[in-house]
Amino acid sequence: MANTHSAFIGLMQRARNVKRWPLMAQFQEEMLSTHIYEASFVAHMLGAIACDVYGEAIDPDRVAAMAIFHEGSEIAGMSDIPSPVKYHDPETTAAIKKLERRFETMLIKTLPEALQARYTPLIEQNKDDDHVTLAKAADVLCAYLKCDYELSKSNSEFSNAMQEMEIQLKRYREKIPAVDYFCLVFLEDAKGTLDEQTKDLEWIERANTLHLESSDQ
């Protein structure tokens, strides 16, 4: 059997070492592994909404898979390139996009040949695929929530980034019903405190009742 050794999983694990927002002071540092995890479950939810609420031909599992591997070039060695660098001018953007594709190819080639065909479309993603579009929307949603979190901690470093994310998110909401639904149903609670997020759970009511009964004894 060819390719008896593969660095693919080891490289994927490197996401825990890649710092997001590298030029910005953060109240809580975000590593790429955290972002991928969050983007994956948000992407799955967007896929589920598209499929189950709007009846679209979308596979939520595939949307989540796209999110899992959407930062393949960063994992393979490019790390997180700051937006002011990446979008400095069209020439720079094109050059970086070319590099990203090269690093994605490098990551794929670390796989055994028998597995490369399966993972290639997950890493070298087709931007015209609706599953990829939803995964990208999840990426923006997570960046928006990161900015909101930092601003909630009085970190004005993220003010401009938040403005950019609001513009991008508005465009996705106008274009994709599933994104608008997500924002209407999930977004505000995603920003809340733990107490706010759990106030309607049954165990909270039981705990409060127990405390009241104990105080009466």
Mean pLDDT estimate for the chain: 90
Other CB atoms within 10 A of residue 160 CB:
12
Torsion sign across C-alpha atoms 133, 135, 139, 141: positive
pLDDT score at 1: 46
Domain boundaries, given as residue ranges, for the chain = 8-216
For 170-205, write each residue's pLDDT tens digit: 999 999 999 999 999 999 999 888 888 887 777 767
104 C-beta neighbours (distance < 10 Å), count:
23
- Superfamily name and number for 8-216: Hypothetical protein af1432 (1.10.3210.10)
Q: Which amino acid does the sequence have at 151?
A: L
CB 80 within 8 Å of CB 74: yes
Q: What is the pLDDT of residues 16-66, one digit of tens each?
A: 999 999 889 999 999 999 999 999 999 999 999 999 999 999 999 999 999
